[in-house]
Amino acid sequence: MARQSILLTRRLPPQVEARARASYDVIDNPDDRILTPQELRERAHNGKVAALLVCTSEKVDEALLAQLPDSLKAVATFSVGYDHIDVAACKARGIMATNTPDVLTDSTADIAMLLLLGAARRAYEGDRLVRAGEWKGWHTMMLLGVQPGGKRLGIFGMGRIGQAVAQRARAFGMRIHYHNRSRLAPELEAGAEYHASPESLLRVSDFLCLNAPSSPATRGFLNSERIALLPEGAIVVNTARGDLVVDDDLIAALQSGRVRAAGLDVFANEPALHPGYAGLPNTLLLPHLGSATIETRDAMGFTALDNIDAVLAGRAAPNPLW
């Protein structure tokens, strides 16, 4: 029986690619550049692919799906977020769409705490001072930051990652508040205080950590009106999606000091982030490193392949999106 073909739209970790080649005829992307929709269509047709293994860099919309071969049975994304995939269009064509939940929870929560601590303690400014040879010695008022202990951490989106952030923040003595689409069970809250509205949460957030998925309801969430609800000098952390933030509004608040600092791992239109961030000393900016550990990226790839294996074998996918 001939082996089925799958298309890997980007380079994946070596162990993931090795597993894929052991089971399938793989059409890969050795240059690791973002393929155009036309290139995706041509490669999918030439290989009569049964599955696409995509990343967030590829937009799998209705227009693209309409041009893909009838052999296509699965679109597996190498991510938890799936706003780049038109799930309804996949369902209409009978193409299963899947994602990789759970496996990047800890690594993303770690990055959120790195950003929180780095923004609070002015790590970027200190690193720059040392590297530029401008550090002239210790003095009492040099780069004074704020301690997280005793502060209120507001978590917008208390899913798996939000809960993992809360667990880590408690170790630093932070008091946890959260808003979620639905209230968690007491054992999951673990003493966190629930807020029925985002506005209520913002008013008590000395630190605000954004952990909600991108959706029509959350895009543009952090705008000037909501920033105005934060305590003076609040610190903002975002490891979710860049489009939750209205960049112009957050930049203005950082420039004025209304927001003390921000730690950002995600940006709208990344990697072409808003140029206003680059010149701000009170921002710690990372290039979407939330899942960037060897262990997590391997687990993401294996989970995506688990989904593909199941669909192509006629079984239920472990992580279906419809």
Instruction: Give the catalytic positions in this structure.
Output: 241, 270, 288
CA pseudo-torsion sign 168, 170, 173, 174 = positive
d(CA 25, CA 6): 6
Whole-number Cα distances in Å, 60 to 66, 210, 258, 269: 10, 25, 39, 16
One-character DSSP codes across 61-88 = -HHHHTTS-TT--EEEESSS--TTB-HH
Q: Between the CA of residue 230 and those of 31, 46, 208, 291, what are the distances in Å?
A: 45, 54, 9, 28
CA angle, 284 as apex, 282 and 290 as ends, to 5°? 155
DSSP secondary structure, 234-274, as one string: EEEEE-S-GGGB-HHHHHHHHHHTSEEEEEES--TTTTS--
Q: Give dist(CA 12, CA 30) in Å, integer.
A: 10
232 secondary structure, DSSP code: T
118: left (phi over 0), alpha (psi -120 to 50) or beta: alpha
Closest by alpha carbon to 6, among 29, 37, 34, 28? 28
CB 8 within 8 A of CB 20: yes
How many C-beta neighbours within 10 Å does residue 214 have? 19
Residues ≥6 apart with Cβ < 8 Å to 157: 179, 180, 210, 211, 212, 213, 218, 240
